Homo-oligomer: A and B are copies of this chain.
Amino acid sequence: MNETELLNQIKSLIGEDEISDDCASFEFPDGKILVSSTDMLHETTDFPKGMTDFEIGWMSTAVTLSDIASCGAKPIQILAAVGLDNPKRLYEIMRGACFCAEKYGAKVSGGDIDSHNELTIVTTGFGIVEKKNYLRRFGASVGDAVCITKIPGRAQAALDGYEKYREFLITPKPDVYEGQKIAESGASCMMDVSDGLALSLYYIAETNNVGIELDLSSAELPDVDSEKRLEYFLYGGGDFGLLFCKPQTSLSDLDIDFTVIGKIVEGSGVKLGSEKIEKRGYTHSFE
């Protein structure tokens, strides 16, 4: 059973909208939206061997900040629940978490500690965004440009041994500033690409009931052996860039680094040239 099948079981309890977005949302009477997201990470699955506890704390916080960024929100607070296999690890983990939060304008303001067989960290973050700037996966229109920040695939390349990309795997940098700029500039939808670009493209296509035609002529691919470039770019997980759609006419309003990789079309699926790309990436499997 994969994660999507399992989530489908609880759609009726939580609500379809809530299940399908990166963050939960709550609207205040003054028109601001509180977005929140929680992420559970644990040692054997999520923290590559050789990471320091500081890096583990950083990564745990960055994952949640990336979800908040993908709504166009400004992160304000992080709570960290840490299940410790060894209490001596707490200080460095929290130092990494606090350092990451503060770098992106948020603060670790609380949490819980517990002992656990295997190091387990759950970070929950919340952020604020004006309702008019709040972005979700839904919202794309036919004709919109499909755009990304950063170069997807570098975290996966690092996991496979390309040491020069290690920082993208170990201390990933959430696009918090970029997310707010994208939202303020009138994008139509956004999500992050942490499960791989291809899966995110399919989520956007399916949520909006449209197709996507890719054109990678402007895209920079990871600088790896040539036969792996496209594989990593499309299907590698663990990167913290943003995928967003935006009317072609307003692309010049956006003053950050980004790359147009395609456009929204009528139909369904995600095509590169005449072929549909595969719908695969990082999905958790439950046995």
Contact = CB atoms under 8 A, between A and B. Distances in A.
Interface of A: 1, 3, 6-7, 9-10, 13-15, 18-19, 21, 23-26, 28, 30, 34, 36-42, 45, 76-77, 79-84, 87, 90-91, 94-95, 98, 108-118, 120, 122, 124, 126, 284-287
Nearest to A38: B79
A112 B38 CA distance: 6
Nearest to A111: B38
21 contacts: A3-B113, A14-B94, A14-B109, A14-B110, A19-B110, A21-B110, A23-B110, A24-B110, A25-B109, A37-B79, A38-B81, A38-B110, A38-B122, A39-B81, A39-B112, A40-B112, A42-B116, A45-B115, A81-B122, A115-B286, A116-B118
Contacts of A79: 24, 36-38, 124
A9 B122 contact: no
Max count, chain B CB within 10 A of own CB: residue among A42, A45, A117, A124: A124
A124 to B, nearest CB: 4
A110 B40 contact: no
A37 B111 CA distance: 7
A124 B218 CA distance: 42
A5 B144 CA distance: 55
A113 B11 CA distance: 13
Contacts of A91: 9-10, 13
Those 10 A-B pairs whose CB atoms lie nearest each other, nearest first: A24-B110, A24-B109, A87-B286, A122-B122, A124-B124, A40-B81, A38-B79, A40-B114, A81-B122, A10-B94
Contacts of A109: 14-15, 18, 24-26, 36
Contacts of A115: 45, 284-287
A32 to B, nearest CB: 8
A36 B77 contact: yes
A63 B284 CA distance: 28
Nearest to A115: B286
Given A13-B108, A95-B13, A113-B3, A126 B90 contact: no
Given A24-B79, A37-B110, A84-B286, A90 B10 contact: yes
B98 A34 contact: no
Nearest to A99: B13
A116 B9 CA distance: 19
